[in-house]
Amino acid sequence: MTPRAAIIGLSGLRLTAEEAALLRARRPVGAILFARNVAEPGQLRALTGEIRDILGAEAPILVDQEGGRVARLKPPQWERFPPAAAFEHAPEAALRANAELLGRVCREVGLDVVCAPVLDLRLPGAHGVIGDRAFSEDPAVIARLGAAFVAGLQAAGAIPVIKHIPGHGRALADSHHELPRVTASVADLAADIAPFQALAGSGAWAMTAHVLYEAWDRALPATISPVVIRDIIRGEIGFEGVLVTDDLAMGALAGASNDLASAALAAGCDLVLHCTGRLGDTAALLADCPTLTDRAAERLAQARAMTEAFHGRRPDALRALRDAALGALAAVAPGDDPTARPA
């Protein structure tokens, strides 16, 4: 049975009987987990096991675990990871170690696709939804650090998801609630796409931005714009990996289409993401969602092949490398310790 080209949210700490029946009947490619799905490691391993018992051993299970304020695995059960901005002036080896440690934590509980790193520009005056989730305002720094983060996750056996392609950094609104319209010129937007160009062949997935770029398509946001996906993401950026939407239930896409899943897939996305976890919403999405294409299946396999076998790393050594580098930075510019861990 070819799966539906969807990644879906779930309601709680275990699959309900109704959710299990829906997954069997309308099989999606995978699932994404949120704080409502997470209590402690044993529970999380049981939940990811239940999902794969139905969807298959290689069903991707996603998590937003960037570090900083975007984290689903939190203290006291898991350690706190620093935000991307903490690494702006750090050596790449420290960030790679941090990402490998983060990926290892996720893989230990069955989460194999990590929605990070953020490759958006951190620009003054932009909406704070990105902020310290981004490494820098310098595209070259973002590309260099983004590559280290991707390599670290892959070394832990996790698949990275670079986001939010082709760039959310200029947005003056939060796409969770409304559609941002970016008025920057094509020349200015070259800076936004540069980090994504640098990582286009890295093996990472990419997540779309629910942003309308007037210079590229004055009518449609990137997620459902054939022009942006074909000409910019697949064309100018050169990204040929797995392209997944951001959450279709976000406010930015409200009223954009009566069938957002079909619109996004027709525009050129490989997978759609739907995160509410409400059974009725999920059932409605899966009832009409197209199935995975052969090309998308090839891209999924290629991304998995770019990761290393998960076989248990040296967490203490990774942590020591990261903490030493960040500690040296803090000594130069004192502030909150970004490496604090639960006791």
- Exactly one of 120, 192, 246, 323 is catalytic; name it: 246
Three-class SS of 236-271: HCCCCCCEEEEECCCHHHCCCCCCHHHHHHHHCCCE
Residue with tokens 């006291």: 76
Which pLDDT belongs to residue 314? 79
From 207, 215, 216, 189, select the one nearest 264 (Cα to Cα). 207
Residue 279's contacts (CB-CB under 8 Å, 6 or more residues apart) are 11, 16, 18, 19, 22
311 is catalytic: no
Which pLDDT belongs to residue 332? 67
| Spatial distance between the Cα atoms of 312 and 314, rounded to a whole number of angstroms | 7
Peptide bond into 28 cis (omega under 30): no
252 φ/ψ angles, rounded to the nearest 5 degrees: -60, -30
From 8, 14, 85, select the one nearest 50 (Cα to Cα). 14
- Exactly one of 176, 188, 288, 337 is catalytic; name it: 176
Which pLDDT belongs to residue 341? 43
Q: Output the six-digit token pair for 15.
A: 């699959």
| Spatial distance between the Cα atoms of 157 and 276, rounded to a whole number of angstroms | 27
246 is catalytic: yes
H/E element, 159: strand 159-165
Q: Which domains does the chain have, with CATH numbers?
A: 4-275+291-328 (3.20.20.300)
Cα 69-64-291 angle, rounded to 5 deg:
155
Per-residue pLDDT of the chain (343 residues; tens, 9 = 90+): 899 999 999 999 999 999 999 999 999 999 999 999 999 999 999 999 999 999 999 999 999 999 999 999 999 999 999 999 999 999 999 999 999 999 999 999 999 999 999 999 999 989 989 999 999 999 999 999 999 999 999 999 999 999 999 999 999 999 999 999 999 999 999 999 999 999 999 999 999 999 999 999 999 999 999 999 999 999 999 999 999 999 999 999 987 666 999 999 999 999 999 999 999 999 999 999 999 999 999 999 999 999 976 655 578 888 888 998 888 888 766 555 444 443 3
Concatenating the DSSP letter of every residue in 171-205 gives -SS-TTTS--EE---HHHHHHHHHHHHHTTTSS-E
Residue type, 126: A
Long-range CB pairs of 77-82, under 8 A, 24+ apart, other chains included: 77/39, 77/40, 77/41, 77/342, 78/41, 78/105, 78/342, 79/105, 79/341, 79/342, 80/340, 80/341, 80/342, 82/326, 82/338, 82/339
| Spatial distance between the Cα atoms of 192 and 169, rounded to a whole number of angstroms | 7
| Spatial distance between the Cα atoms of 53 and 256, rounded to a whole number of angstroms | 35
Which pLDDT belongs to residue 338? 44
Which pLDDT belongs to residue 331? 79
Q: Output the six-digit token pair for 152.
A: 């670290």
Under 8 Å between Cβ of 43 and 78: no
Q: Output the six-digit token pair for 122.
A: 């951190």
Q: Are strands 4-9 and 212-213 parallel, antiparallel or unpaired?
A: unpaired
